[in-house]
Structure 1
Amino acid sequence: MILALKFLVSCVFLIVSYSCAEAVEIDCQRPPRLVDPSLCCKDGGRDQTTEACAQRMGIGGQHNNGPPTVEKATCFAECILKETQYMQVPEKLNYDAMRAHLQNKFSNDSAYVETMMQAYRKCEPVVQQKLQVFKRTPLGGGAAALRRGCSPYSGMLLGCSYMEYFKNCPAHRWTDNEQCALAKQFVTQCSLGA
């Protein structure tokens, strides 16, 4: 399911790294340059669900005019969770459907499946709490998405889950270099994710 998360995270969240040769003290208030998370931690890649949702939202086509709006990214995330049947009831995950989908798609990679399941399980309660605060805020950042009928839950959940996956990337999917190590240190030390 991490398939679309690279795209979503690139649109909504920043994963960053330092490119210095020496050890650097991390300053969470001053994020360094962007690094493509999939260059450090191989994810599930794009698939038919991702492509169908991107097309439905008008994201990533040849006539793309930059990153999508928060509204489109939020609805894109919701589309992915619904199409994969990870979310059959609004703002609640179906872990049985998720596990079945991941085990089917990644049958030869149980470490990936377990890492993703742990990421979602860790993030869902955190996102539920943040969502309650968001809903009490009269003009929260996702108000446009709510008007369109998309809850910010999906975008928040996918973003958090991707960050957790990145922090706990299975060794066989991790690129061991200084840039990636520093990106992971920043994401972990600055409490990005859950």
Structure 2
Amino acid sequence: MGKKGKGKGNKLVKMSEEERARYLQMRADMEEETRRRKMKLIALYMKFAGAIQIDCDKTDQIHEDQIHHCCKHPDGHNQIMADCAKEHGFKLPNSNKQSMMDLTAGHAIAGTCFAKCVFDKLNFMKDDNLDMEAVKKSLLEKHSDDPEYVNEMIRAFNHCHGKAEENAAKFMSNSIFKHMTKDFCEPKSAVIMACVIRQFFHNCPSFRWAKTEECENLLQFSRKCTDSIATL
């Protein structure tokens, strides 16, 4: 490994300033193209899963990345989420927004290793399948003070481990996805996590939905534009 790094350094040293600039620009262009192709494939998955974000009327006031403010849910520091994010270079909204529900579905589906790490630490997967007993136990232990939230999450998880998720995970296991990112893991956990996020917000009870103008606009937009928002 040391020799390889040294050789690369020597290569740059031997270049003229113009050659070095061209080389670095070429590397930057390649990395940007890889990122662009990865996002295109993620968008393809979201379409495959029936949850792609599309244009419908005026969307400039729709901020999907802020949707977690609209449906009340427990948040704050979460050590497992924080540890997995650090381990896999996954960016959480901030130190006070570390709930699974603080992510968008698109964000979750892109973090295959992060999601697998979280589900593994929570013991949510057993023999490559979602262990609903473990899910229920974890939710009841952590959120005993909010039984309605527990029931909503259990319903979401129950919905999200069927044939559709199995097929989506197989689709994302295609080798082309693995070459698009340095940090790619078996995607079933990410598929389920993204689905749970969508289900939670899609079925958010009216008493939990914030009555702000932005959230009301988002709710009306999602109802009018079916499958227009990835999270919903």
TM > 0.5: yes
* Amino acid corresponding to residue 34 of structure 1 in structure 2: H
Q: Who is 2:112 aligned against?
A: 74
Q: Is the 8 A contact 2:72 2:209 kept in 1?
A: yes
SS in 1 for 2:126: coil
* Amino acid corresponding to residue 167 of structure 2 in structure 1: Q
Structure of higher CA gyration radius: 2
**Higher RCO, 1 vs 2 (CA within 8 Å, ≥6 residues apart):** 1
TM-score (norm 1): 0.67
More helix by share: 2
Matched, 1:101 2:138: yes
Matches within 5 A, 1:55-74: 55-60=86-91, 73-74=111-112
Matching residue within 156, 166, 170 for 2:201 = 166
Shift of 1:86: 1.1
* Amino acid corresponding to residue 53 of structure 1 in structure 2: C
Shift of 1:40: 0.3
SS in 2 for 1:173: coil
Q: Is the 8 A contact 2:109 2:191 kept in 1?
A: no
CA 1:74–1:180: 2 relative to 1, 3 Å? same
* Amino acid corresponding to residue 159 of structure 1 in structure 2: A
Shift of 1:59: 3.0
For structure 1, the 5+ residue unaligned runs are 1-11, 14-27, 62-68
TM-score (norm 2): 0.57
Aligned residues with identical type, % of pairs = 24
Q: Aligned residue pairs: how many?
A: 158
Matching residue within 125, 146, 149 for 1:112 = 149
Matched, 1:178 2:205: no
Matches within 5 A, 1:1-194: 29-30=54-55, 32=59, 33-35=62-64, 36-45=66-75, 46-60=77-91, 73-90=111-128, 92-125=129-162, 126-135=164-173, 137=174, 139=176, 142-144=177-179, 150-187=185-222, 189-191=225-227, 192=230
Q: Is the 8 A contact 1:57 1:72 kept in 2?
A: no
Output the aligned Cα RMSD: 3.2
For structure 2, the 5+ residue unaligned runs are 1-41, 44-52, 93-106
SS in 2 for 1:124: coil
